[in-house]
Amino acid sequence: MFSLMKLALVIIFATTFVHAADVPITQDEFIRRTQELYDAIVPGNQAPWKKYFADDSIFSDEKGRTMDKTKLVADITPVPAGYSGAIKIDKVQSRIIGDTAVLSYDANETETIFGQNLTARYHITDTWLRRNGDWQIIASQAYRYYEDPATGKIDPKKFGDFIGIYELAPDQTRSVTAEGENLFVERKGKKEQLFPETCDLFFRKGVEGRILFRYDAHDKVDALIDRRNNEDVVWRKTK
C-alpha cells in the first residue's frame, strides 16, 4: 500500500511539474524580470544578470561595446559614492513565438551626481530563448536616443562672418542667411534654423551632428563644416 501511495505521489508531482512547465510565459513576466535587472544596477547586484542572461549571450550597449556574459556581469558594480539613480522601462512591445521571445522597450534613466540631476533615454531590444524549460536572454542591443544640446548665446553682430554661399561641388551649394537674431542654413529650398551651442558651433534641432564655421589665417570664414560623428564634410565659402 505504501509503495502504491508513493508511486501515486510521484506521478502527481511529475504531472504537476509538466503542466507548470507548459504554462506560457507572458509579457508581464518578461517586464518583471527586465525591471529586476535594472533595479540591480545601482547596488551592483550581479545575481539577476547571472540568472537571466544565457552563458552564450551577446550584449551590445549604447557605447558600442559588445560583451559576452562574463564581461557583462563583471561590468555590474555599485555606483560610486555621491551617485544614485534608477532606470524604469516603458513603452514595451513583445513578440512571443514558441521558444523565442523579443522584448522591445524604452529605458528611462534618472541619475543624481552629487546633487545634480541628469536624465537619459535608451531603446533596448532583448531576445529571450527557452532551453530546457528556462527562459534566458540570448542577445540584447541598446542605443541612446539623440537629444539636442543646450542652446547657448551668440551676438548677432557675428552673423556677418557666416552669411554667404558655400559650395560642396559644382551645382551643390547651400546658403547661410540671418533674420533678426536668428541664423538659417538653406539647401534646395529646405531651410533650417541654426541654434548656437557656442559662438562658432551650431546645431539643428532633431539632427545629430554640428555645423561649425572655419576661420582662415586672415580671420575670415572660409568654410562651413558639417560634422557628423567626428567626420567632416567641408563646404567652401564662395561669396
> What pLDDT, on a 0 to 100 scale, did the predictor assign at position 22?
64
Residue 73: closest CA among 41, 112, 110? 41
CB 207 within 8 A of CB 220: no
CATH class, domain 156-237, is mainly beta
Residue with cell 560642396: 168
What's the mean pLDDT when you consider all of the chain?
A: 91
DSSP letter at 79? P
Strand-pairing partners, residue 115, are none
- The amino acid occupying position 134 is D
> What pLDDT, on a 0 to 100 scale, did the predictor assign at position 230?
83
In this prediction, residues 95-121 reach a mean pLDDT of 96
Q: How does residue 125 score in pLDDT terms, banded at 50, 70 and 90?
A: very high
CB 24 within 8 A of CB 96: yes
> What pLDDT, on a 0 to 100 scale, did the predictor assign at position 236?
97
CB 192 within 8 A of CB 204: yes
Q: How does residue 97 score in pLDDT terms, banded at 50, 70 and 90?
A: very high
In this prediction, residues 61-82 reach a mean pLDDT of 95
Q: 178 pLDDT exceeds 80?
A: yes
Residue 137 and residue 131: Cα distance in Å, rounded?
11
Q: 111 pLDDT exceeds 50?
A: yes
Grid cell, residue 29, equals 513576466
Tell me the fold of 25-144.
Answer: Nuclear Transport Factor 2; Chain: A, (3.10.450)
For β-strands 53-60 and 134-144, DSSP reports them as parallel
> What pLDDT, on a 0 to 100 scale, did the predictor assign at position 3?
55
Q: 17 pLDDT exceeds 70?
A: no
DSSP letter at 44? T
Q: 1 pLDDT exceeds 90?
A: no
Sequence spans of domains, the chain? 25-144, 156-237
Among 11-15, 66-70, 122-126, 210-214, name the one with the lowest average pLDDT.
11-15
